[in-house]
Amino acid sequence: ERQRAGDHADEATAGASDDSYESEEEDPFLQRQSQLRTFQRGDFQVGGMIGQGSFATVHKAKQLATARDVALKVVRPESELDFGTGPNGSTPAVSYKDVLKAMKQEVLLMEMIGSHPNIVEILGTAEDCRVFVMERAASDLYTIVKQQERNLPFQLAKLWAAHMLHAVHFMHEHGVVHQDIKSSNVLIFSDRSAKICDFGLARRSKPTMSVDRELVTLWYRPPELLMGESTYTPKVDEWGVGCILLEMMIGLSPFKGKPDCICQCPHITHRNYNSDQLMKIFAVVGTPKDRALLARQACTVHFSKWPIFPAKLEGTVKRMCTAERLWRGKGDMPGEQEVDEKAAAWHFIIAGLLNLDCKERLTAEQALRSRLFAPSKRPTSSSVSRSPDGKAPPAVAAGGEGQ
């Protein structure tokens, strides 16, 4: 349910390693030693599993020396992993060595980024980067959105939107592209802060990068990859944030493509094509008409004869922007004019982040300068009181495990 269908074995090799190096031994970045604190397994009281991915599991734990609640990300033993076979029964392209390399890359990348209040903190490692020690969250955004359905207060949506954008801008400024921005990778803490986690698919960024494999979880995959561009930019992360903003509005992932709707074309740029995913995007943001944009796409043969979809995003945003969801818990309910203004501000930022043309897509920095985040004229409060129906908005959404 958390989009694992889009997380294939490629994730073990899709990380930070520079494309020009054949092996870990040749890449100076991977020769660096982590400066993080080194822990032993005995330093923690390990509890139950609270999450899992293709190659690692996440467990809640308590650091015995400090009684601090933490989360441990642990690479699976080689005996638990099935890498399948390569073409014609050959050796698979991904090995356990690649998995361990990806774990080390994740640690080094997060050290390279440095500390930021909206990026989850790695406290240390154990067993030669086979175990990460991380701060533990109260929940994750996927869980909260699912619990709240279409009732997530816009005050929280706006706060978390800003936190995500600050994190993306910071990591891009430090030369890292995440490549897996999705709601389940946004952790929510007890102080209501949102932090991006899971840099397992991240890499050192360049202004333009070559498409050489399947990239980004399907439901959050940007159109330039789906349509077959041969290169991509760090703005794949901004597309992911745009998807999450719309997800917070409508209460579910907006583009839930079926993973088996792929083509059999041999060219590498077709590896990211999915007809159902692309059609769901067009049905919301409209069919692209720019000839220069379409000329860059390798997969136009698959969708050039589709019906023309009109853009429906503005109407969707306007329907979701209600006075009840915009109300801050103090003072009068917002009037019709204020509701329309807020709807326009939300539409501007979501449409900008979900621009089909990555060259025109808003950067995180540009999005943070938009009208949505301008100082409010209405009185605000550091705490949120009860909504008009008498129910308190979620502190961080009860019941989520986080991580």
Q: Which two tokens stand for residue 185?
A: 């990778």
Helix, coil or strand: residue 14 = coil
Beta strands in 77-205 (DSSP E): 122-126, 131-135, 139-140, 176-177, 186-188, 194-196, 203-204
User: What is the pairing mode between strands 122-126 and 37-39?
Assistant: parallel
- Every domain of the chain and the residues it spans: 4-135, 139-373
CA angle 403, 168, 161 (to 5 degrees): 75
Q: Are strands 186-188 and 194-196 parallel, antiparallel or unpaired?
A: antiparallel
CA distance 278 to 266: 19
Per-residue pLDDT tens for 198-240? 998 999 999 999 999 999 999 999 999 999 999 999 999 999 9
Express each pLDDT in 257-273 by its tens digit: 999 999 999 999 899 99
Reported confidence tier of residue 35, pLDDT bands at 50, 70, 90: confident
Q: Looking at residue 9, what is its pLDDT?
A: 37
Binding-site residue set: 73
The reported pLDDT for the residue numbered 279 is 97
- The string of DSSP codes covering 334-381 is P-HHHHHHHHHHHHHHHHHHT-SSTTTSPPHHHHHTSGGGSPPSS---
Tell me which fold the domain 4-135 belongs to.
Phosphorylase Kinase; domain 1 (3.30.200)
pTM: 0.86
**Domain 139-373: homologous superfamily in CATH:** Transferase(Phosphotransferase) domain 1 (1.10.510.10)
Query: Is the predicted pLDDT of residue 69 greater than 60, yes or no?
Result: yes
Distance (Å, rounded) from C-alpha 51 to C-alpha 342? 36
Tokens of 116: 């930021």
Evaluate whether 257 touches 197 at the Cβ level (below 8 Å): no
Average predicted confidence (pLDDT) for the chain: 85
Distance from C-alpha of 398 to C-alpha of 308, rounded to nearest angstrom: 43
Strand-by-strand arrangement of the 139-140 sheet: 139-140, 186-188, 194-196
Mean pLDDT of 190-198: 96
Q: Which residues are annotated as a binding site for ATP?
A: 73
